[in-house]
Amino acid sequence: MDRRTLKTQRLIKDTLLQLLQRKPLHKITVSEITQIANIGRGTFYVHYPDVDSLYDQIINEAIDNLTELFDQTYPSGAGNADFVALFRAVTQYLTANATLFCVLLQNQKSGKVIRQIKNLFAQRIMTERQFDPNDPEIQVTVTFTIAGAIGALTDWLTGDLDVSADQLAQIIDKILAKF
């Protein structure tokens, strides 16, 4: 893809995120996006069929990026794993994309997105740790741990937890070390 295409797509995505800070997705139109982005409707349609597809692509890219972060930083092997690198990478990504994730948390579809992220991480952990997916205790432990970590990250992102990104990573690592 050339730079102009990437720049136009970034402009369209940023415009949608800007609008999502003020109104729900179902009230945002292509006309509104193109007017604010100062592009023609045809330009929008070259890149996206509709507003919902644009939103879905933004979500899918965020989930793909989180998956890549997880794959690169999740501690491999069993035993006393160090999760600090993982949570540092996640908090850096959340900070760099704070507008996106704050909008996601406010949006009506946020429950679906959070579920997708939880399921993704649960599957990755079960595979990485070679846990028995049929063991109810393992299922509950993994689900509980992921929900807690995502809850803490969400509260941190929205400002409900007054700690630095590094402190958050260290604290979550200490908690996970107890399991």
Q: What is the CATH number of the domain that holds 29?
A: 1.10.10.60
2 & 58 share domain: no
Average pLDDT over every residue of 2-20:
95
Q: Which domain holds residue 170?
A: 51-177
Number of domains in the chain: 2
The number of beta carbons lying within 10 Å of the beta carbon of residue 31 is 10
153 & 122 share domain: yes
Give pLDDT tens digits for 35-80.
999 999 999 999 999 999 999 999 999 999 999 998 888 877 655 5
As given in the structure block, the two tokens for residue 37 are 């982005």
39 & 55 share domain: no
Polymer length in residues for the chain = 179
Give pLDDT tens digits for 86-142.
888 888 898 899 888 888 877 766 677 888 888 988 998 888 888 898 999 999 999
17 & 84 share domain: no
95 & 13 share domain: no
Give pLDDT tens digits for 141-156.
999 988 998 899 889 9
55 & 123 share domain: yes
Please report, as a single letter, which amino acid is at residue 86.
Answer: L
For residue 107, the SS3 value is coil
79 & 159 share domain: yes
Amino acid 18: pLDDT: 94
96 & 173 share domain: yes
CATH of the domain at 126: 1.10.357
88 & 162 share domain: yes
126 & 168 share domain: yes
159 & 129 share domain: yes
62 & 109 share domain: yes
Verdict on whether the full-model pTM lies above 0.95: no
